[in-house]
Every structure is written in structure tokens, then in C-alpha cells.
Amino acid sequence: MKFAVIVFPGSNCDVDMYHAIADELGEEAEYVWHDAENLDRFDAILLPGGFSYGDYLRSGAIARFSNVMKAVQKAAEEGKPILGVCNGFQILLEAGLLPGAMRRNNSLKFICRPVSLRVENNETMFTSAYKQGEVITIPIAHGEGNYYCDEQTLKRLIENRQIVFRYHGENPNGSLEDIAGIMNEKGNVLGMMPHPERAVDPLLGSADGLRLFQSIVKYWRETHVVTA
């Protein structure tokens, strides 16, 4: 399986994402610069964290106009797995690939530490390796992770089981309904503020994030016929 790791000016978690895929997961990964116009040769698309374009205007507001986002939109329409982490989540929101918006943390401070997440839906291409309701440890690192949406959108998210992860115990940023990660209605685009790529080995304090990437590979292998 081949993963594209999209690199924007200001991305700083692209190397972490590449390491998670190539070294821990054992799959093929390739950096793709933000001006690329075609992602057809990739099986999954990863938008890493960081500070794309310096987070000017709003986090992700400029990156969503990058050439590569047209190709990301096309991949989403084709049903390919797309994961946006932290700034990648913010970009997906700005691009309209996921509903809602991101506000500054309630504390108005940057937060960087491990948090507990509860798996709200393990029947997705991103979470099949988890148990329903399982509590996992994944680190966060953001200043604008306070997810918000209107009442109608929240109702749809709940009814369609699009809320994939919630903060368990403490809500570190004030996010609505403790939301830490959501997916689109089609189920192939996931955005989350915590960093699973930073939790892929016990040496990092947790290996709980690795199972998210393993779930993607499992889904891909079950839906694609691989010939020698």
C-alpha cells in the first residue's frame, strides 16, 4: 500500500508521519509537495500537522487553496482513505471536506502532552483495530483545537456516527461534546487533533496510534485484490 504524505510550507510533522508508515507500519510512503496536481498513484493520503503558511488568517485557511487540495478532493470523491492530523484536520475543515470549524483553545495557550481518547466508532476504515469504547493514549500539540459546529451539524454527526474519537476525562481545549476526531458521511475522510503518528512505539510513551494505520491497511487489503 502506498501513502502520500502531503508537505505544505510550515509542515513539521511530515517526518513523524513518514516514520510511522515506512518504519513502524512497514508500508510505502512518499513526501508530496503542496504544488502537486495528481495523487492517482497513491492508495491513501495523509495531511500532517504543523503550521502551514504560518497559520496566517486561520489555521489551514491558506493551505486549502494549494494545488494539491484539488487532488485531495478528487481522492476523497473516489473513496480513498484520507487522514488529516492537527493542522491537517484544520485544512480539511477549511477545504469543506469535513464539517465545522476550529477555534482557539479555551486556555488561549498551546497545549502539548498525552491525552486519553475514547473510541466512539470502531466500525470505520480507520478504527477497526480498536474496541468500541476503548480508551487510548495519544499526544496532542495545538493552540487551535477547540472544535465547533452548529446544532444541526452536531445532530448529523451523532446520528451518522461520524464522531470517531472523544476526549476521555479531561477536555484539554474546550472542544464541543469533547470531540477529538470526526469523519465525513462517506466514512473515508478522518480529521483528528491528537497525533497518532507520535504514538506508534512504546518508546514514545504509547503505541496506540499504530493501530489506526494498521486499520487503514487492513481495510485496503480487504477491498483490493493484490496480484503478484
Task: Note whether 138 and 130 are within 8 A (CB).
Answer: no
Is the residue at 228 inside a domain? no
Does the pLDDT value for residue 228 go beyond 60? no
Is the residue at 87 inside a domain? yes
Helix (H) or strand (E) holding 146: strand 146-148
Per-residue pLDDT tens for 73-124?
999 999 999 999 999 999 999 999 999 999 999 999 999 999 999 999 999 9
Is the residue at 28 inside a domain? yes
Does the pLDDT value for residue 144 go beyond 70? yes
Is the residue at 148 inside a domain? yes
Active site residue 77: no
Which residue range forms the structural domain that includes residue 209? 2-223
- Cα distances (angstroms) measured from residue 184 to each of 7, 163, 169: 22, 9, 25
Catalytic residue among 34, 142, 168, 195: 195
Q: What is the pLDDT of residue 136?
A: 98
Catalytic residue among 13, 86, 94, 120: 86
What does the block give as the cell for 83?
Answer: 487522514
Predicted TM-score of the model (pTM): 0.96
- CATH code where residue 144 lies: 3.40.50.880
Q: Residues for the chain: how many in total?
A: 228
d(Cα 14, Cα 51) in Å, to the nearest integer?
11
Per-residue pLDDT tens for 204-225?
999 999 999 999 999 999 998 6
Of 79, 91, 86, the closest CA to residue 12 belongs to 86
Active site residue 19: no
35 exposed, middle or buried (CB, 10 Å; 0-12, 13-18, 19+)?
exposed
Active site residue 197: yes
Does the pLDDT value for residue 55 go beyond 60? yes
Is the residue at 23 inside a domain? yes
